[in-house]
Amino acid sequence: MGKNKGSRVAAAILISTNLLFMIFCSMLFALGLWIISSPNTIIFYIQAYGTPIIKVLFPREFLDVQLGIALSLLAIFFFFISLMGLYGAIKCSQFLLFMYSILVFLLLLLECALIFYYTSNIIEKGIQVNDGHITHVLRLAFRCCDNYTAEHIQPPWSCCGSEGYPSNCTADKSYTKNCQETITIWIQKYQAIIYSSLAVLHVLLSSCSLLRRAYSASSSHT
């Protein structure tokens, strides 16, 4: 009886969590298709209703077909993983539940590796120009700037906030906090929480999947 109750709780967690992920993936896929099919329309809505920061972070040249394809493929990938967990939990499929638990664990390793790579890069080298659009996001989020003290060097627009877009930023108007130092302090403060949160979520889903699978296996033998 206790095992049956535990299996039902595990199934409820799997179904609710994966259903939310599937809804999110569907929205992300729709956004990707929208960018692919009609980028001008989404640009119009951003310019008409978006905040100043949203407007400068998503310029016309950023919302291209490549971005739409990348978002769509990413949404499809995570949608099918969530569908595997949802269907496996409902039908008690031993194969789907086992594959889902393995994929969830592998995703945990991949996410931790990516976070470690990028955070280590920032701590060691600071914000790099070849990081692309993410550099503007980091400067705006942390209200910081790199070392642009020379008068003949114009800082990137994001060093002055959204009002510096596209080329209205000067050294005397830029943020005074150094990005490498500011982001390093933030990472050292919150990295344990980030890794722990990721681990708890993925281990919980993987454990629920294995628990549901164990109940399915025991039921098939009785």
Which residues constitute the domain of residue 178? Answer: 2-221
Q: How confident is the model at residue 87 (pLDDT cuts 50, 70, 90)?
A: very high
Q: Which pLDDT does position 1 carry in this prediction?
A: 47
The DSSP call for residue 170 is -
Give percent of the chain with pLDDT exceeding 70.
92
Q: Which pLDDT does position 131 carry in this prediction?
A: 64
Q: Are 14 and 205 in contact (CB under 8 A)?
A: yes
Q: Which pLDDT does position 149 carry in this prediction?
A: 54
pLDDT, tens digit, 9 for 90 and up, residues 28-55: 999 999 999 988 888 888 888 877 778 7
pLDDT, tens digit, 9 for 90 and up, residues 133-173: 788 888 888 998 876 655 557 788 888 888 888 788 888 88
- The alpha carbon dihedral of 156, 161, 167, 173 has a sign of negative
If one counts the domains in the chain, the total is: 1
* Helix orientation angle between 2-37 and 65-91, rounded to the nearest 10 degrees: 160
Closest CA relative to residue 4, chosen from 219, 203, 205? 219
Q: Which pLDDT does position 148 carry in this prediction?
A: 63
User: Does 102 score more than 90 pLDDT?
Assistant: yes
Q: Are 140 and 57 in contact (CB under 8 A)?
A: yes
